[in-house]
Amino acid sequence: MGITGYYRLDARDATHACLLDDLVLLYHPRSGQTHMVISPVPEILDQMCIDERVSAADLHDRLAQRFDLGPRAAALPEIAAHLDALVALGLVRPA
């Protein structure tokens, strides 16, 4: 997938989030797994709507309106890498 791929959040993968100091717990009822994540993962997930097909570039542009992401060329692959990691965890699906 990477920066050219598309991703989507499936309703069945909706997680329950809990903020503990500077990390966020995501409980995934479908697998029964608890994931501990830190910024920018919660922020990336916040920008994804259920069943919407989005690319790393779409998410970069949404995040850039709220956060200083630095040069686009560096931020884009980083966002794509996080998305791929979320796919591997089963929290996000390829679209």
Partner 1 sequence: MRHDLTLRIGPATFRIGSAWAGPIDQLARLYAAYPQVEGAIADFTVRLQPTSLARRWVRPSIFITGDHGLADAAPMSLSHGLLAAEMGMNLQMALGWRRHLLLHASSVEKDGRVLVMTGESGSGKSTLAALLGERGWRFMGDEFALLDLDSGAILPFPRLVSLKNRAIDVVEDAVGDVRMGPMLRATAKGDIRHMVPRADAVARMDEGGKPALLLFPRFGPDTDIRAVGQGEIFMRLTQASTNYVALGEPGFAALTRFVQSVPARAIDFPSGEAAFEMVDRLWGEVA
Summarize as ranges the residues that interact with partner 1 (CB under 8 A). Answer: 16, 18, 20-23, 25, 27, 29, 32, 34, 36
**Backbone φ and ψ of 67, nearest 5°:** -130, 155
Give the residue with the Cβ less far from partner 1, 18 or 50: 18
What is the closest distance, in whole angstroms, from the C-beta atom of residue 38 to partner 1 in the complex?
A: 9
Q: Are 62 and 24 in contact (CB under 8 A)?
A: no
Q: Are 86 and 10 in contact (CB under 8 A)?
A: no
What is the closest distance, in whole angstroms, from the C-beta atom of residue 47 to partner 1 in the complex?
A: 23
Whether residue 94 has a cis bond before it, omega within 30° of 0: no
Give the residue with the Cβ less far from partner 1, 32 or 71: 32
